[in-house]
């Protein structure tokens, strides 16, 4: 069979795709890298066939078919109804030198925090009041209080010195030969046993505004599942399939104010520490999950920033490695 000449330019083209969960809200996706002319790396955005929400795209001028090519290209995304899923695909030539493409995804803050930001901006722009001349001591004692109210203090984050304790989490899971179980704190499953923990849900009843927990798992014979948010099921039920790896990460505009900790136990191995945004598995990568425990607590910084991008966490932001 003769080769197809039309396909020749694409023989070295490689695609790399990833699905990102998005909560209801508005986001801006920006191409934040710059390459020599003719060596740009293309990234396309589409709605993935996952999640229950709908995803709408509003490309900026010069952006065609939701494809980001050069520095400054951007698309505004609106997620409605329920959690949606974004399919991100990069196109690069296998023969070119490896490069990094920085794709920034930021949530557009439409909460009441905008009012506080406006008040601070107005206070900063107001002219400074001149200090009155010094008065005699007796007059100062009788002076009326200033009619100006004190400037609003920035929101303070609970600290360890305040006695802040881990925020309550509840867990449901499907365990081999036991069926569905529910626990509050502690271990979900038996860290000293071998029964498979085949699926789980993390409930966050008192979840603070602006933060959530995302998690995903690798299932034997099925591969890695899409990420789920708190209150949603990950894994399988009654299929006799084990989980070989798990990933947990905090997401949302306030995720930098909280700390995630925990451990996962895989059959025959000691507990492995859960690190924010990093996949955890047994050393061999083949043993199944038998137990899991997690905690979320406020960080100790007393004056953390008011707003942080929900995509600055390495669990969510991806630096796309491409050939260029």
Q: How does the average pLDDT of the chain come out, rounded?
A: 77
Tell me the percentage of the chain whose pLDDT exceeds 90.
Answer: 35
As a whole number, mean pLDDT of residues 257-283 equals: 91
pLDDT of residue 258: 92
CA dist 264 and 291 (Å) reads 6
- Most confident listed range (144-148, 166-170, 308-312): 166-170
Q: In what order do the strands lie in the sheet with 84-93?
A: 13-22, 84-93, 42-47, 67-68
DSSP 88: E
Range of lowest pLDDT (53-62, 85-94, 218-227): 85-94
Question: Does the pLDDT of residue 97 top 60, yes or no?
Answer: no
Contact indicator for 220, 242 with CB cutoff of 8 Å? yes
Question: Residue 98 — very low, low, confident or very high, per pLDDT cuts 50/70/90?
Answer: low
Question: Does the pLDDT of residue 140 top 50, yes or no?
Answer: no
Structure-model confidence comparison of residues 62 and 11, the more confident one:
62
Calculate the alpha carbon distances from 90 to 72, 83, 211, 313 in Å. Answer: 17, 23, 28, 20
Question: Does the pLDDT of residue 143 top 80, yes or no?
Answer: no
């Amino acid at each position: 069979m003769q080769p197809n000449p039309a396909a020749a330019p694409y023989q070295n083209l490689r695609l790399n795709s990833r699905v990102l969960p998005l909560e209801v809200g508005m986001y801006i996706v920006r191409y934040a890298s710059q390459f020599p002319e003719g060596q740009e790396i293309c990234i396309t955005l589409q709605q993935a066939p996952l999640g229950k929400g709908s995803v709408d795209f509003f490309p900026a001028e010069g952006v065609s078919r939701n494809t980001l090519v050069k520095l400054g290209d951007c698309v505004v995304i609106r997620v409605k109804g329920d959690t949606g899923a974004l399919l991100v695909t990069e196109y690069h030539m296998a023969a070119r030198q490896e490069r990094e493409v920085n794709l920034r995804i930021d949530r557009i803050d439409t909460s009441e925090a905008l009012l506080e930001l406006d008040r601070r901006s107005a206070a900063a722009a107001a002219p400074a009041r001149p200090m009155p001349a010094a008065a005699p001591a007796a007059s100062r004692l009788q002076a009326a209080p200033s009619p100006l109210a004190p400037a609003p203090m920035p929101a303070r984050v609970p600290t360890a010195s305040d006695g802040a304790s881990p925020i309550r989490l509840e867990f449901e899971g499907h365990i081999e030969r036991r069926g569905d179980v529910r626990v509050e704190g502690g271990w979900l499953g038996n860290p000293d046993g071998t029964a498979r923990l085949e699926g789980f849900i993390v409930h966050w009843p008192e979840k603070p505004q602006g933060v959530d927990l995302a998690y995903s798992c690798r299932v034997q014979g099925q591969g890695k599942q899409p990420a789920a948010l708190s209150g949603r099921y990950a894994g399988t039920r009654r299929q006799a399939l084990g989980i070989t790896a798990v990933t947990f990460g905090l997401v949302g505009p306030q995720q930098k104010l909280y700390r995630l900790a925990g451990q996962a136990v895989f059959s025959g191995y000691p507990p492995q520490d859960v690190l924010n945004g990093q996949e955890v598995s047994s050393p061999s990568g083949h043993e199944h999950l038998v137990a899991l425990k997690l905690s979320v607590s406020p960080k100790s910084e007393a004056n953390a920033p008011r707003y942080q991008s929900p995509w600055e966490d390495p669990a969510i932001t991806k630096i796309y490695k491409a050939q260029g």
